[in-house]
Each structure stands twice: as structure tokens, then as C-alpha cells.
Amino acid sequence: MIQGYLAFALSTLGIYPRYIEPYLLRTTYLDLPLSPDLEGLRIVHFSDLHFHRGMSSRFLRKITSRIRRERPDLILATGDFLCYSQLEDSERLKAFLCTLQAPLGCYCSLGNHDYDAYVSRNSEGNYDVVTPPNFMEGAFRAFKALIQKRKRSGEITQKVKSVSLNAQFCALLKETPFSLLENSSITLPIGLNLVGLGDYSLDRCRPETGFAGYNKKFPGIVLTHNPDSVPLLQSYPGQLVLSGHTHGEQIHFPFPKALRKLSQKLARLENSEYTRGFFSVGDKKLYVNRGLGSHRPFRFCSPPEILVVRVKENADR
């Protein structure tokens, strides 16, 4: 995310946001009703691993330990496993993913870093195939994002429409416990639909295809990397939508109001309110995960996060 480059420009703030907070893994608990038949179900959700060869093995072990401690029945991930579409140190990534197992399985969708080319906003604010910017380019984009007044559009260039799946990464996933849901759905034997959608930034979010196999007798959870896709889902079923992408703003100013809006703006969403946490959107619930990693190791008031969804029919949501 662009806020990572601004973060480096602000590194004079001290060592905490660069060397401490990025590894302060937090667990968030969300109690939700889905169905009386699913009472007691425990689901772990994570997003935005952003694995690269320099990623700390100690931090990866911490992630595994925290997830195992929760004894999840189901593990769900919402993309950006990679950095800039580069599959680095594939054996170590595979080994890490193989440490994550659950009785009902592990399922995932993809993010804009996981396809055959890296897609992000270009200098005009449109989705485009871009090269990973250097430090100065990233800082300039962050500054431009701050001063830009017009509402961000979801315009997608022609180059993006030719980007395909990352064959190497998809092959790696098949050697792990994770099953990819790319505009597809599955109904688990316990009576729960899972729908995984392609990434919004690449114009691959196709709910008309993803929900084709949805069993309307049962509740459902939707995996979609970018929360900007949520408005597309209002005419489709599913009680809970899980997303990531924003890193919880990565640089988060809780107050005052002016700084709060600034940190939301840096996430460069079309729907700037959906940057982190829990929301009610029509008849659906949305959770935007702060994610685990980042391609620029800097976090301020936005520590990495594992979400645990506990199905409780008496939950007040």
C-alpha cells in the first residue's frame, strides 16, 4: 500500500513503528450469529501476509503459534500472500502455509499482489500494471494522494485486463492445505457456504460467477481482498464479508478528526470509511483485517492482526 512509502519518509519518528509494532501481533475476537446449527464454530481469518525472502522466521512461527492456540475449525485468508507478484523463497512460504491446518479446511482468495503482474493505482489514480516504486516515487505518490481532492474512481486500464493468475503461486497453493476460491464457492458439510472472489483492482471480482454454486438454504461467508468490492455484493447472499488490503491504514491516526481523515485517505479506497475493523453494510457484516505483513515494515497504531470469529447465536450484532 502507498502508506508504506510515506511511513519510510516519517521514519525519524523513531524505532518503534519500524522495528517493534510490525511484530506486535494482536488477536481480535468477533462474536457473530450465523445459524443455530453452527453454534460454537471458530474461524480464523488473516490477510496480507506479504511474504518475501527477508521476512522474519521468528514472526512466521509466532503467527503459526497464535493460530494454533485458537484451535480453529476453519482458516480463511483474503490474499496478498506475496509482494509485487514475486514468489520468493517458495519452499519457506510453502512450509509456513503447511503449518496452518484446520478440521474443516483452509480456504483463500487472492489480492492485487498475487496475480501474474502487480496492479495498483497509477499516478492518475487509476488501476494499472505498475512497477514497484522506489522510495522517492512512493513518497511522491503518498503526497499526491493527500492533496488530491476528487473522489477516487475504480477505472481500470486495458493492461490490467490482460493480467492472468500467477501460475507458480497457484501451483504452490495446491501443495498446501489452502484451497483457492477464485470467483467460486463451496458448501461445507456443516451447512456453511464459502465464496471467494477475484480481486477488485484487476476487474476480476465477479459475484455473478462466484455465487453461482451458493446454497441459499445455508448462511455464507464471502472472501474478497479489497473492501471496495462490498457495494457489488448487496444483491447477493452471505452474512459476513472478510477483507484486508488496507493494512488497517498502516499509519493510523485515531484522533483528531482531521488526522483521522488523512490516514483514511492514504488507504486510497473509493469507500474511504472501510479501512479497518467491523461494519454493518446493508444486511451484511464486513470485517476489514489489518493484515499480518507489509512490503514496507512500518506500522503506527495499526499492529498486525489475526481475527477469530466465534459463532454465537446470542451475540449482540
Segment (H or E) for 90: helix 90-98
The owner of cell 503518498 is 142
For residue 207, being part of any structural domain is answered with yes
Closest CA to 197 of 151, 138, 137, 241: 241
For residue 182, being part of any structural domain is answered with yes
Specify whether the backbone of 152 is left (phi greater than 0), alpha (psi in -120 to 50) or beta.
beta
Segment (H or E) for 42: strand 42-46
pLDDT of residue 296: 79
| Alpha-carbon distances of 183 from 85, 134, 224, rounded to whole Å | 20, 33, 10
pLDDT of residue 313: 83
- pLDDT 10s digits, 88-133: 999 999 999 999 999 999 999 999 999 999 999 887 889 999 988 6
| Number of alpha helices (DSSP H) and beta strands (DSSP E) in the chain | 8, 14
pLDDT of residue 164: 97
For residue 317, being part of any structural domain is answered with no
Write out the residue range of the structural domain in which residue 201 sits. 3-311
- pLDDT 10s digits, 3-19: 555 555 555 456 889 89
Closest CA to 168 of 79, 109, 87: 87
Question: For the whole prediction, is pTM greater than 0.95?
Answer: no
Task: Let me know: does 198 contact 182? Beta carbons within 8 Å.
Answer: yes
The tally of domains found in the chain comes to 1
Q: Tell me phi and psi for residue 16, to 5 degrees.
A: -55, -55
CA separation for the pair 237, 300 (Å, rounded): 36
The CATH number that applies at residue 174 is: 3.60.21.10
The edge-to-edge listing of strands for the beta sheet with 106-109 is: 26-32, 305-311, 42-46, 74-78, 106-109, 178-180
pLDDT of residue 239: 97
| Weakly modelled stretches of the chain, pLDDT under 70 | 1-14, 133-153, 316-317
For residue 120, being part of any structural domain is answered with yes
pLDDT of residue 226: 98
pLDDT of residue 149: 55
Task: Let me know: does 30 contact 312? Beta carbons within 8 Å.
Answer: no
Strands 240-243 vs 220-223: parallel, antiparallel or unpaired: parallel
pLDDT of residue 147: 47
For residue 316, being part of any structural domain is answered with no
Strands 284-288 vs 240-243: parallel, antiparallel or unpaired: parallel
Q: Which three cell numbers stand for residue 285?
A: 457484516
Q: Which three cell numbers stand for residue 47?
A: 490477510
pLDDT of residue 132: 83
